[in-house]
Amino acid sequence: MEYVLFGLVILILDIYALRELSHSRTTSRQRGRWAVVILCLPVVGLVCWHMSGRRAVIIRI
């Protein structure tokens, strides 16, 4: 049961990362490469995307 829950969490996080990726301001080639990494290496790709692929959002107050 733990494996199923872990798999569902990874799937949900991957879908979220792909959704964020589709709205990012990168080139289509970069988005395609990131999508392949996220889909082929679900855990590693997810961690790499959140650490280096996402651009920081600066909020001005």
Cα–Cα distance between 15 and 38 in angstroms, integer?
9
Domain membership flag for residue 32: yes
Q: Where are the beta strands (DSSP E) in the chain?
A: none
Domain count, the chain: 1
Range of the domain at 11: 2-53
> Which pLDDT value is given to residue 54?
67
> Which pLDDT value is given to residue 27?
86
Cα–Cα distance between 16 and 3 in angstroms, integer?
20
Domain membership flag for residue 59: no
Asked if 56 contacts 24 with a C-beta cutoff of 8 angstroms, the reply is no
| pLDDT digits 0-9 by tens, 4-59 | 999 999 999 999 999 988 888 888 898 899 999 999 998 998 888 888 876 644 44
Q: What is the pTM of this model?
A: 0.76
> Which pLDDT value is given to residue 57?
43
Cα–Cα distance between 54 and 21 in angstroms, integer?
8
Domain membership flag for residue 40: yes
- CA end-to-end span of the chain: 45
